[in-house]
Amino acid sequence: MDVDEMDYEQAVALYHEDLHRFALSLTRNPDDARDLTQESYCRLLTKSGQVRDKAKIKSWLFTTLYRVFLGRKRHEQRFPHLELTGVEHEIPMLTPETVEKMDAEVVLEALQEIDEHHRTPLVLFYLQSLSYRQMAEMLDVPVGTVMSRLSRAKAALRAIVTARAASVGASNVIPIQALRTNLSKSS
């Protein structure tokens, strides 16, 4: 299938903002996020034959962006992979009102503290861009794993945000007790 002009313009109009948000969550850098987004659309233009069904353009774009990101990451210096464990039993109390009062920047920074394996499904969850089946295909893991990672990621984000919220009114140094990390490989 070739992506014609109408398809492409619709794909840009409908998905580019969420793709950029997703890219920003992965790269943590606005310039890299823009570059990743553009690269994904560029590949849609040049490799549209890979998209067999127009209805799958969105998931194809998200998957492509993620794979481009992973490909580039392999060429970069490797850092120890921090894995979240055990946080699901220590979810702190956090209200929607607290989150609403916080700057978006603070929440986004908190999101960046979560390792990529967990951050990716969490961002996709909030963007509501893909079904769980599509997420599982994209991440190349079973649906159950996506949901497990999501559960841990939500707990971790709440722990970090709770600590940030507390730090505003209390101290500049807040230990994040709920967030434990180790160097084990995630499931």
Task: Spell out the long-range contacts of 137-142 with Cβ–Cβ below 8 A and sequence spacing 24 or more.
Answer: 137/59, 137/63, 138/59, 138/62, 138/63, 138/66, 139/66
- Alpha-carbon span 157 to 110, nearest angstrom: 6
Note whether 100 binds another protein by CB under 8 A: yes
Minimum CB separation of residue 150 from another protein in Å reads 5
Note whether 55 binds another protein by CB under 8 A: no
Size of the site for another protein (CB under 8 A): 45
Question: Quick count: other Cβ atoms within 10 Å of Cβ 145?
Answer: 17
- Alpha-carbon span 14 to 166, nearest angstrom: 37
Of the residues 1, 29, 46, 187, which one makes contact with another protein according to CB under 8 A: 46
Note whether 86 binds another protein by CB under 8 A: no
Of the residues 51, 68, 84, 111, which one makes contact with another protein according to CB under 8 A: 111
User: For another protein, which stretch binds (CB under 8 A), given 42-50, 51-59, 68-76, 162-170?
Assistant: 42-50
Note whether 10 binds another protein by CB under 8 A: no
What is the chain's length? 187
Minimum CB separation of residue 98 from another protein in Å reads 8
- Going by their DSSP bridges, the two strands 180-182 and 83-85 should be labelled as antiparallel
Minimum CB separation of residue 112 from another protein in Å reads 11
Closest CA to 175 of 158, 163, 183, 187: 163
- Alpha-carbon span 69 to 27, nearest angstrom: 8
- What residues make contact with another protein under the rule CB under 8 A? 4-5, 8-9, 12-13, 16-17, 20-21, 24-25, 30, 34, 37-38, 41-42, 45-46, 94-97, 99-100, 102, 104, 107-108, 111, 123, 125-128, 131-132, 143, 147, 150-151, 154, 157-158
